[in-house]
Structure 1
Amino acid sequence: MLLFSVLAAAIAPGIALLTYIYLKDKYDSEPLHMVIRVFLLGFLVVLPVMIFQRGLTFWLGDHTLLTSFGVSAGVEEFLKWFVVYHIIYNHTEFDEPYDGIVYAAAVSLGFATVENLLYAWAGYSSIGSLVIRSLLPVSGHAMFGIIMGYYLGRAKFSEGRSSKFFLALSLLFPWFWHGLYDIILNTLTQDWIWFIVPLMLLLWFLGMGKLARANSRSPFRVVKPEEEVNL
């Protein structure tokens, strides 16, 4: 019974956050089987991430800045971005800006869910610590995914240099925020909570704003006459 409770606590946060993001798509929801498939692809990202991170740690050594921005944030965000870009970006189902958010969040939360399961399996996490992980790393991965997906959506429906610019931002911004998150945890062993909580609140504020803006750019959105005047 305890094992079931721990596993449920490890899996539930990722699914709950992905469900929330999926349901916030106001105009043209993605096929559920596609979202589940991409979520499961996030599971597969864990293995290459572990391999690359282990190799980079041996090569670069244990330096806090390099570990936070290079080994941790750099590897994880690049591989998640790589999956979304090469599998989803040119897919026919990617037909509105919000879709980038759904699929990038799905990969990120699939990855975060496996991380939680590994912690639980290794015996490092009680139910209480898994709740904390749902409030911090799992929701952090969700916000990194939203930011990545927002700019992928901007890139997809832009042209020329603007498209390349937003494509670069889709990797740079989640990498920066993830690296900042990690450097706080890796350097502040005592007072980290006073910095990480404001950071998470900021990320949620940015993330919710990007959900709204992506929805507002949907080609399936019907603009009311009174809205046309304001535009």
Structure 2
Amino acid sequence: MFAVLSAGIAPTLALMSFFYLKDRFDSEPLTTVFRTFLYGALLVFPIMFIQYAFMEEGIGQTPLIRSFLLTGLMEEFFKWFIFLYTVYKYTDFDSLYDGIIYGVAISLGFATVENLLYLLAHGVEYAFSRAIFPVSSHALFGVIMGYYLGKAKFLTKNVKRSQFSALLIPLSLHGFYDFILETVPSWIYVMTPFMILLWMFALRKVKLANQQEYKNVVVLAEKKSQIQ
């Protein structure tokens, strides 16, 4: 049991630390990040129940529907919904990069519980591949979702478009991820370049968010100097 818990939680700590430490200016309170993580963790059970009900009834069990609707849309929608109606109202959510932190936290909360349940059912020998693929992908979907929700709150007049992008892009990527697993026999040869591109795309959002924070710091410093 201890081995399963350690193997299930370790990738979460590594990924959360990585993205948390990427914030170069004003780190979020750990208590708020952890609370967001718990929101994501609690989402697993109602989503699994709904997915199980569809499976038992034999509804939507083609690879395309299962990948893009029952998994991609359902999981990313609930994370997006919880983000909009909880995190979006945090007083600590005051910069673009904060969106990434909270997006990663809610996604890793979900991924951690899902990962622990999988390892308990199938064995700790799957821990490494689970860390590399599903847990990492959830974190990266969270980066993308958080970036666009941060952009919606702080950077753009097209708020609805950015909010919609925060749902559409992660669910599309998530659906494609599952579709590869379901339909490609030697999936590792397709999944590996997909994950590399996903990392590149997500890290690009991290870079853009930090650049925007740097601009905000410079503008604030200039205003202070003018006042003095």
Tell me the TM-score normalized by structure 1: 0.90
Give the percent of matched residue pairs that are identical in Structure 1 and Structure 2: 47
Aligned to 1:129: 126
| Alpha-carbon shift at residue 159 of structure 1 (Å) | 4.6
Aligned to 2:218: 222
| Alpha-carbon shift at residue 42 of structure 1 (Å) | 1.3
Question: Which residue, 7, 13, 21 being the options, matches 1:9?
Answer: 7
Helix, strand or coil for the counterpart of 2:25? Answer: coil
Q: Work out whether residues 147 and 166 of structure 2, in 8 Å CA contact, stay in contact via their aligned partners in 1.
A: yes
Cα displacement string for residues 62-116 of structure 1 (whole angstroms, at most 9, x for unaligned residues): 1110000000111100011111111011221110001111001101001111011
The number of residues matched between the two structures is 219
| Alpha-carbon shift at residue 59 of structure 1 (Å) | 6.0
Aligned to 2:51: 53
Q: Distance in 1 between matches of 2:123 and 2:129?
A: 10
Q: Distance in 1 between matches of 2:59 and 2:41?
A: 26
Which amino acid is 1:174 matched to? Answer: P
Q: 1:150 to 1:113 in 2, by over 3 A?
A: same
Tell me the TM-score normalized by structure 2: 0.91
In the alignment, does 2:153 pair up with 1:144? no
Question: Which residue, 182, 187, 194 being the options, matches 1:192?
Answer: 187
Gaps of 5+ in 2: 223-228
Aligned to 2:32: 34
Q: Distance in 2 between matches of 1:77 and 1:91?
A: 20
Q: Work out whether residues 28 and 220 of structure 1, in 8 Å CA contact, stay in contact via their aligned partners in 2.
A: no
Q: Distance in 1 between matches of 2:156 and 2:137?
A: 30
Which structure carries more helix by proportion? 2
Question: Which residue, 166, 179, 182 being the options, matches 1:170?
Answer: 166
Q: Work out whether residues 4 and 120 of structure 2, in 8 Å CA contact, stay in contact via their aligned partners in 1.
A: no
Q: Distance in 1 between matches of 2:164 and 2:193?
A: 26
Range with greater deviation from structure 2 (52-61 or 170-179): 52-61
Gaps of 5+ in 1: 226-231
Which amino acid is 1:55 matched to? Answer: A
Q: 1:49 to 1:159 in 2, by over 3 A?
A: same
